Amino acid sequence: MKYSKILGVGSYLPPHVWTNEDLSKMMETSDEWIQQRTGIKQRHWVDLDSDTCSSDLALVAAERALASANVKKDEIDLIIFATLSPDHEFPGTACFFQEKIGIPGIPALDVRQQCTGFIYGLSIADQFIKTGMYRKVLLVGAEVHSKGLDRSTRGRDVAVLFGDGAGAAVIGVGEEPRDSRVSQIYSTHLHADGRFAKELWVPEPSNAHPGDRLTADRLIEGGHYPKMHGKTVFVHAVKRMPEVLLESLKANQVSIEEIDLFVFHQANLRINEMVASQLGIPAEKVFNTIERFGNTTAATIPIGLDEAVRAGKLKTGMLVATAAFGSGFTWASALLRW
Catalytic residues: 115, 265, 295
For residue 176, the tally of other CB atoms under 10 A from its CB is: 11
For residue 219, the tally of other CB atoms under 10 A from its CB is: 13
d(Cα 53, Cα 51) in Å, to the nearest integer?
Answer: 6
Instruction: Quickly list DSSP for 38-66.
Output: H---EEE---TTS---HHHHHHHHHHHHH
- One-letter amino acid for residue 56 of the chain: D
Determine contact, residues 312/291, Cβ cutoff 8 Å: no
Determine contact, residues 325/267, Cβ cutoff 8 Å: yes
Cα 58–chain centre separation: 12
Q: How far is CA 83 from CA 86, 179, 240, 294, in A?
A: 6, 34, 21, 16
Which phi and psi (to 5°) does residue 25 adopt?
-85, -15
Strands (E), 113-180: 136-143, 165-173
Residue 13: name the closest of 324, 317, 296, 314 by CA: 296
Determine contact, residues 271/234, Cβ cutoff 8 Å: yes
d(Cα 55, Cα 52) in Å, to the nearest integer?
Answer: 8
- β-strand pairing of 78-82 with 108-111: parallel
Q: How far is CA 217 from CA 51, 121, 206, 220, 224, in A?
A: 26, 37, 14, 5, 11
